[in-house]
Amino acid sequence: MKLKPRILLVDDDPNVLWGVGKFLTRSGYNIVSCPDGAEAIEVLKDSPFEAMITDIQMPRLNGLALIEWTIQNRPGLKIIAITAFGCDSVQQVLMKKGPILYVEKPFDPKVIIELLNRETRTTDSFSGNVNDITLFDYIQLVFMTNRKLKLHITSTSGENGLIFIDNRTACHAECGELQGEEAFYKCLSFKGGSFVSLPFDEPKSRTIHCKGDFLLMDAARLKDENSKVTLHHSEVPPLFSDMDVPHFSESDNHFFPDKEV
């Protein structure tokens, strides 16, 4: 009988320990939980784990100190850090520590499952936000390099979307009740947020059948039209109009090495 993967879950919030722990347990994982980094280190000293999911802000010993200890003493352990939304300084520290995945609160536990299901920690995928590249630019880059992946996108207002990319285009997209091209355009209309790049899995149906270049041009056109409407109603002079595709600050979770909607 195959043993369930052992996951160490560290958070000082009992609601997170209960909610995320219950979800992961139902998904087939063996969960051990700790309320802070100090207790987690003692547990890590005595027991092997496949991965560790840890909050950053905790009493006694915070998540950054726990991660530092884990990197030095358990170098093969997969690490997923949970950060507060928009906490760029913490995310920059995490980036310097190596291939650490991270997700931002609030997050969908399904994203954790998809990250845990990866067999190895490589640079094929990443999680988090992006500072210096827009979502539009990242998708364009993926199209150009013919990469095959799935994007989980979370807006600042909490909306979630999925874009499945294959063969230089999006083959499927979901956003709320929307699917196909409508969902794709909706995701690219988000006014900021975070995204997670994950390994590709085949969607239930392929709802988009046009070329990637066409999708991006149409998305840019719609964004441009929406910006003009916004400017008209707010009476902002055209000189100060922002026609750029919305930037996603960097988290998720995304830069090219492995590292959090």
Question: In the numeric block, which tokens belong to residue 44?
Answer: 């890590």
Is residue 115's pLDDT more than 50?
yes
Burial 214-242 (b: 16+ CB within 10 A, else e): ebbeebeeebeeeeeeebeeeeeeeeeee
Is residue 73's pLDDT more than 60?
yes
φ and ψ of 149, to 5 deg? -160, 180
Average pLDDT over residues 39-49: 93
100: Cβ contacts below 8 Å, ≥ 6 apart: 67, 79, 80, 81, 94, 258, 259
176: Cβ contacts below 8 Å, ≥ 6 apart: 159, 160, 161, 183, 186
pLDDT at 261: 40
Is residue 133's pLDDT more than 80?
no
Cα 158 to Cα 211: distance, rounded to the nearest angstrom: 29
234: Cβ contacts below 8 Å, ≥ 6 apart: none
CB-hemisphere CA count at 13 Å for 9?
24
pLDDT at 38: 93
pLDDT bucket at 181, cuts 50 / 70 / 90 = very high
Closest to 134 measured CA to CA, from 194, 222, 77, 199: 194
71 vs 1: which has the higher pLDDT? 71
The mean-pLDDT minimum among 82-96, 187-201, 219-233 falls in 82-96
Average pLDDT over residues 144-149: 82
Average pLDDT over residues 12-38: 92
pLDDT at 98: 56
**Residue found under tokens 């905790």:** 58
What domains sit in the chain, N to C, each tagged with a CATH number?
Answer: 6-128 (3.40.50.2300), 129-261 (no CATH)
H or E element at residue 91: helix 88-97
Supply the angle between the helices 109-116 and 14-26 in degrees, to the nearest 10. Answer: 50
30 vs 89: which has the higher pLDDT? 30
CB-hemisphere CA count at 13 Å for 202?
2
Whether the model pTM is above 0.75: no
Cα 174 to Cα 220: distance, rounded to the nearest angstrom: 19
Check whether the bond before 246 is cis (ω within 30° of 0).
no
